[in-house]
């Protein structure tokens, strides 16, 4: 099997500058995993799938956009890239910058980034700087820096990121033969929901492939798009969407409305329950990535949504990114002497 770089695969559909270079880790092409048992549990009568974006090279969908953003920066002669990140953007930027031979600087909110993401950024050789402030403040700093110095900004304010990210919609249409009926996904800075909507609309205009309704899900403690106002001190266990002032909030609201869908909030308890439920299907995702299921479940239970046709949950990042959320919540694992009797006694409970 020969896998092509993502941007090469969809070149004709991407609006990228001609100087964009290929900087690829063979991202994309992620599985669309059927979840029939979970669909039954949610009332049945529809097909449910997870788009497993955690299987991208650095463990999140961010790689789809980063191959474009870093490739463009390299082609334009940038010597360095910079981003603010709740974690996954940092790891992805660091990996693609390494691949391109560029310096990478990432700003993260102090103490609020999951262990696997911080380790990733460091492993790929990025210069990691903690900011004693929020993600939103860190983003402001990098935007200003990129305006004053020859350093390319690779946050999702960078339009090339969205070009790469919309390829997930193309893959879904290829796998299903048409667009799904509902797309449920977490919303943080709101780049991904914006990119999906661009991608679905683009293919629909060309091939009448249909359009999904969008169910965007924010964490209750970081739900500016649900409240209609920025959240000064966003707080949630789902650190990837712990964002109080989404850069593409307006576009996300417009996309959801145009699609006939909406943006809702899910509590941390609902998000963690959804994470466990997905794990019970063999799919371990990080907390933010379970928000789509958390929102869908709550909407079904409240009678506000009756799924029909095909529903896709976008599982944005891998569970290994945030091991602490699991190990802290569970009782400590027992220790026994290396004796069969001890093991059997324990198993007999």
Ligand X SMILES: *Cc1c(COP(=O)(O)O)cnc(C)c1O
Identify any residues that bridge with 218 across adjacent strands, giving them in sequence order.
265
Residue nearest to ligand X as judged by C-beta position:
317
φ, ψ (nearest 5 deg) of residue 271: -65, -45
Angle, helix 88-100 to helix 115-123, in steps of 10 degrees: 10
Nearer to ligand X, 47 or 215 (CB): 215
List the interface residues with ligand X, window 122-161 (CB under 6 A): 156
- CA dist 216 and 228 (Å) reads 14
Q: Which of 50, 82, 168, 187 binds ligand X (CB under 6 A)?
A: 187
- Write phi, then psi, for 84 (nearest 5 degrees): -100, 150
If 0-12 CB within 10 Å is exposed, 13-18 middle and 19+ buried, where does residue 269 land? exposed
Q: Name which position in 38, 68, 126, 241 contacts ligand X (CB under 6 A).
A: 241
The stretch near ligand X (CB under 6 A) out of 95-103, 188-196, 202-210, 259-267 is 188-196
Residue choice 20, 24, 30, 88 for contact with ligand X (CB under 6 A): 88
Q: Is 90 in the site for ligand X (CB under 6 A)?
A: no
**Residue 164 or residue 180: which is nearer to ligand X going by CB?**
164
- List the one residue from 68, 240, 255, 312 that touches ligand X (CB under 6 A): 240
C-beta separation of 19 from 76 below 8 A: yes
Nearer to ligand X, 192 or 297 (CB): 192
Q: Which of 28, 180, 188, 319 binds ligand X (CB under 6 A)?
A: 188
From residue 42 to residue 61, what is the string marking binding to ligand X with x (rule CB under 6 A)? ------------------x-
Residue 191 found at the interface with ligand X (CB under 6 A): yes
Give the nearest distance from C-beta 129 to ligand X in angstroms: 19
Contact 132, 239 (CB under 8 A): no
> How many amino acids of this chain bind ligand X (CB under 6 A)?
18
Site string for ligand X, 279-318 (x = CB under 6 A): -------x-xx--------------------------xx-
The residue (of 41 and 258) whose beta carbon lies closer to ligand X is 258
Which residues form the interface with ligand X (CB under 6 A)?
Answer: 60, 62, 88, 156, 186-192, 240-241, 286, 288-289, 316-317
């Amino acid at each position: 099997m020969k896998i092509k770089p993502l941007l090469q695969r969809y070149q004709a559909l991407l609006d990228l500058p001609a100087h964009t270079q290929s900087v690829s880790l063979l991202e994309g092409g992620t599985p669309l995993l059927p979840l029939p048992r979970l669909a039954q549990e949610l009332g049945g009568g529809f097909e449910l799938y997870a788009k497993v974006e955690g299987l991208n090279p650095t463990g999140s969908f961010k790689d789809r956009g980063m191959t474009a953003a870093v490739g463009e920066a390299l082609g334009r002669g940038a010597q360095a890239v910079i981003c603010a990140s709740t974690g996954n953007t940092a790891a992805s930027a660091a990996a693609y910058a390494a691949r391109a031979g560029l310096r990478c600087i990432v700003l993260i909110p102090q103490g609020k980034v999951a262990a696997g993401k911080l380790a990733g950024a460091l492993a790929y050789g990025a210069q990691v700087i903690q900011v004693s402030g929020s993600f939103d403040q860190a983003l402001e700093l990098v935007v200003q820096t990129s305006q004053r110095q020859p350093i390319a900004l690779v946050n999702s304010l960078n339009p090339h990121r969205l070009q790469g990210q919309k390829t997930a919609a193309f893959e879904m249409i290829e796998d299903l033969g048409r667009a799904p009926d509902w797309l449920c996904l977490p919303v943080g800075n709101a780049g991904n929901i914006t990119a999906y909507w661009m991608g679905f609309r683009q293919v629909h205009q060309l091939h009448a492939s249909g359009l999904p309704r969008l169910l965007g899900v924010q964490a209750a403690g970081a739900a500016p798009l649900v409240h209609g106002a920025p959240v000064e001190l966003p707080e949630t266990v789902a650190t990837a969407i712990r964002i109080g002032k989404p850069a593409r909030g307006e576009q996300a609201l417009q996309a959801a409305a145009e699609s006939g869908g909406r943006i809702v909030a899910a509590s941390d308890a609902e998000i963690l329950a959804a994470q466990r439920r997905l794990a019970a299907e063999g799919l371990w995702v990080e907390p933010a990535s379970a928000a789509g299921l958390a929102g869908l479940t709550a909407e079904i239970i409240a009678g506000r949504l009756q799924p029909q046709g095909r529903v896709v949950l976008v599982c944005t990042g891998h569970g290994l990114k945030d091991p602490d959320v699991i190990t802290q919540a569970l009782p400590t694992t027992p220790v026994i002497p290396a004796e069969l009797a001890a093991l059997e006694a324990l198993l007999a409970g």
